[in-house]
Structure 1
């Protein structure tokens, strides 16, 4: 078992992170105030350069002393500049493998890989921030197969089935559904702030503003130009984020890849999928789209940044979303028919006290706010809020559905954004049944399931019939016959 140092480009990668973190401070000290003789700025420059030199030496020593090794069953990590430590992580503890290729990695033809374990904390993953693609493939191959020595990429690709690749129409829908065109707004304000530091825009614009407002065709042209820029910017942003998206699978794993400039790839073993969630916002329901998410027992982030890789694709056509679930997870059965809550559940929801409305009414009574310069009676605003809460509860009642289907439970809830949750009985680690005074009086109850994830995932439905809650509890008790020790 031979110890290896990490890739030498790791030093440059970490120094790059330092530069990004302190770039604004560098601009202030060495560019904006380059000619200043202020003692604070002068000593600040010296301290910055000293700090930078220390960081460079630290990262060099860290790279020189930190090593890794692999045998047929485990990672062996050696850390510490002065105090040496050694960690051994068996391959059996690896739950997910994330692969990310940023613009930096593309330039130098390298990549980064994170082997996620089921534990929590800072050492929950074996991380290779910079590694050659060949070495990454070799290590992934060893982890997945233990005794195989070559990475048979072509053979593996032939065994995969591609389930989804977005078309241009899908990308166009995604750009509007994700509200990406609105992302141009913070870019505009950032540009405005930077320019205003150099030129007094407010003073300069006073004379131009009256001229522009007085010309309808100039106003129309500006509105049209801004709209075109927003749409183009949104489409470009969506394409860069979701371009080259692909969902594929083989008999054991589900693979997701995405990104044009920065590539990210991820796979999850099918037997480690704890649950499936289909989510629809109001806009997605209008466009017939849905997002399918997979709940995994391992972490789904990379270097502290959640990459949303538990999502198969955020903008799938609804029909195709359910088809893909059946294709990649044939053991999961999505029930088309679900039970609606009884009418008495609606009355419980409508007459339950609303602390938001009570507190808001008290604030409105003393504050008496003005809207667009008009003083609106406080009781009118309180009544509007009260009606809005009742309407929201009514919509929530209509969207709430549930069903037990042999070994599966399927729950749906939500108001403006609906979420359909599907899980196997063997994947549910705990259930809860609770009843308050009004629920007991009307023969209702609340049920809740708990699944392994990070963080732990809770899903439930309130105000189901008490008979169903008892059936739900008996259904869960049959779990003992199905649970397999992993």
Structure 2
């Protein structure tokens, strides 16, 4: 049934126009002519099924594919950084899975096998796990032998983190995924009827005007109604966020299989992704205000794998939600011999608060000038924002800092929402010292540290004294030069 999955993948672009025409009677009926291509897609899907083959050699996966132009792609096990196994509802119905073999860099996976038996997919993942560390001395076992060793490989796995339903609910409450549902619904409705959002907003505004006009509410009652509406919208967003978290993270399990980490999650669509520990390039701990209310944090990683903008299925979140102690223990377990959290955080430049408060102060001054031009002296009230801007900048500067030892370099930032970012010295690839004209006048600089596959951007040590930043650059430069780069 592989051809069926390929056909459905190609027909996705026709689903929405067809449903609109059939059930709503709207749209351009000339779009039905495009459905004549369905027959051609069936032929193409069958042809791809008949011409796609893969085989396992001693040290690689070899894939033959192509319609008119045939190609043979060989992917060595040692170059496979991530194995992603994806199961939609249809996949689960047929007990099959889609497998993606990803390497460092690139915009697409090295190999993509849309439909494999689930047992074969897990066996292939186990084979990559066993033979990915070094070149084999003997030929790899056949696919059936790999399947036979599947149970043994899975038994070696150690569960590092498993999210209970209560933890998944907390994840939905602390995250802002509800806006994704609202945005997706708005886009979908606008596709069905481009005027639908305007029609809905017009009807709501007319209905609200008629309701409030007939009841003659006071200003206090108006304010109470606005607050109630905002609270209701916030509750609705949390409900959507919880529902999306249950769909995406139900049954979340982080397992350790030797030198590889495996994450499996999902309620309807199951996703299983695996990557070597050595491919982890940087680490990020996040803690929002809601995280602190629940006593939780989020642990993420950046790894050297292909970054597919359309399907981000790589290993990204090691702990979507966990207690601070659990996150710290997970870091210490995966980075043996390191000290986390660091005992001594170094402060920023003494005038870093002034540098941080400058953008907000400029905005407050421009806003005050604009309001004075429109409303006269009342516009000076906007200057009341200046003390708040300075207070926030001081809090950020006070809590920010950096730490460096023989193994790790890290930075912490944030006040309301806090973030800790760190990386091993062996994973650093480039150093850059940056200074804006304002930084030069204040005698400070920012040190940028690049790693491979930095989806979160480079690690930045911001607003350090210039002499200190230069000394750090020289020290880290010597460390990088004498240490081999570990991918």
Normalization by structure 2: what TM-score?
A: 0.79
For CA contacts below 8 A with separation 6 or more, give which structure has more relative contact order: 2
Partners of 1:409 and 1:485 in 2: CA distance: 16
Partners of 2:105 and 2:130 in 1: CA distance: 22
Q: 1:92 to 1:354 in 2, by over 3 A?
A: farther
1:82 aligns with 2:88: no
Q: How does 1:51-66 map to 2 (within 5 A)?
A: 51-66=37-52
2:99 paired residue among 113, 120, 124: 113
1:25 aligns with 2:10: no
The equivalent of 1:140 in structure 2 is: 125
Q: How does 1:170-249 map to 2 (within 5 A)?
A: 170-179=167-176, 202=203, 210=211, 234-249=241-256
Partners of 1:336 and 1:345 in 2: CA distance: 22
1:483 aligns with 2:484: yes
CA drift at 1:91: 2.1
User: In terms of mean alpha carbon deviation, does 476-485 or 94-103 score higher?
Assistant: 476-485
The equivalent of 1:282 in structure 2 is: 289
CA contact (8 A) 1:400 1:413 kept: yes
Q: 1:363 to 1:115 in 2, by over 3 A?
A: farther
Which deviations, in whole Å up to 9, do the C-alpha atoms of 1:82-115 show, x marking residues without a partner? 2223322222221111111111111111111111
Q: 1:109 to 1:393 in 2, by over 3 A?
A: same
User: In terms of mean alpha carbon deviation, does 180-189 or 155-164 score higher?
Assistant: 180-189
Number of equivalent positions: 459
CA contact (8 A) 2:107 2:306 kept: no
Q: Secondary structure at the match of 1:138?
A: helix
Partners of 1:184 and 1:150 in 2: CA distance: 41
The equivalent of 2:325 in structure 1 is: 319
CA drift at 1:281: 2.1
Q: How does 1:42-53 map to 2 (within 5 A)?
A: 43-45=30-32, 47-53=33-39
Partners of 2:486 and 2:176 in 1: CA distance: 44
Which deviations, in whole Å up to 9, do the C-alpha atoms of 1:312-366 show, x marking residues without a partner? 1222211211111112332443214312224233234445797756776676677
Task: Give unpaired runs (5+ residues) of structure 2.
Answer: 132-139, 216-220
CA contact (8 A) 1:277 1:292 kept: yes
Which deviations, in whole Å up to 9, do the C-alpha atoms of 1:437-462 show, x marking residues without a partner? 55455543321211111558411122
Partners of 1:441 and 1:340 in 2: CA distance: 20
Instruction: Tell me how large the CA RMSD over aligned residues is.
Output: 4.1
The equivalent of 2:163 in structure 1 is: 166
Q: 1:385 to 1:86 in 2, by over 3 A?
A: farther
Q: How does 1:231-270 map to 2 (within 5 A)?
A: 234-270=241-277
Partners of 2:450 and 2:405 in 1: CA distance: 18
